[in-house]
Amino acid sequence: MLNDLYQIVDLDELDPMFDEVARFIVQNQQGSTSAVQHRFLIGYNRAGRIMAQIEAAGIIGSVEGSNPREVLIKDMVSLEMLLENYTYCSQSEELLLRRKKNEEIQRQQWIEEQQRLEREQIVYKIKERHRIKQLEKIIRQELIDSGELFGEQPKRPPIPKEVVDAVYTRDGGRCVYCGSIQNIHIDHIIPFSKGGATNVENLQLLCQKCNLEKSNKIG
């Protein structure tokens, strides 16, 4: 029982009485647990724990049979130096703890940053997918318009070349909304699916961007 106690020594958590008991022992050059108990009015278990700490700190020797423990530190100056060293150690322990805490905070910030980046990537992917879907819609319509692809329900016949030419000439080869000459194609003003005719009056030139905006408004 006693021996078990002596083996569990944590010098990082010194008993608050550690210094005082150590001084008492070195001053009297006597390493007796019961003397410590009586001098400091503490219980047997606590006295045992302090003695174990004092032994682990190298101030007293171990228990050998019924002989009194040897006091290894012979004078107070040596003891004070040793105690100072222990105080120093517990201070650097505190520094270490603070550093550990900072590392933990940094790690947490790193994780949050990673999650933010991951979210950004997902948002980008979703937007990109949406953009491609919209483009597909337009290109499909273009393919249907040009006769390369047959539309769904009301199959739209290809626009006659002379009608396309007339619309192109009338609109000057430019998007009637923004004047762009990029990605120009023919658009039904009243959509074909809503009964709009395929004639010069109901057709106009639109760029891809303006057509996208128009089809988004119509839905």
Q: Where along the sequence are the contacts to Zn ion (CB under 5 A)?
A: 175, 177-178, 180, 207, 210
Q: CB neighbours (10 Å) of residue 189?
A: 13
- Beta carbon of residue 172, minimum distance to Zn ion (angstroms, whole number): 13
Q: Which two tokens stand for residue 217?
A: 């408004």
Please say which residue, 57 or 175, places its beta carbon nearer to Zn ion.
Answer: 175
Q: Name the residue with tokens 């290809």.
A: 158
Q: C-alpha angle 86/91/93, rounded to 5°?
A: 95
- From first CA to last CA, the distance across the chain in angstroms is 84
Of 182, 172, 185, nearest to 214 by C-alpha is 185
- Beta carbon of residue 160, minimum distance to Zn ion (angstroms, whole number): 24
Please say which residue, 45 or 182, places its beta carbon nearer to Zn ion.
Answer: 182
Please say which residue, 37 or 183, places its beta carbon nearer to Zn ion.
Answer: 183
- Beta carbon of residue 178, minimum distance to Zn ion (angstroms, whole number): 3
Please say which residue, 53 or 208, places its beta carbon nearer to Zn ion.
Answer: 208
- Beta carbon of residue 127, minimum distance to Zn ion (angstroms, whole number): 21
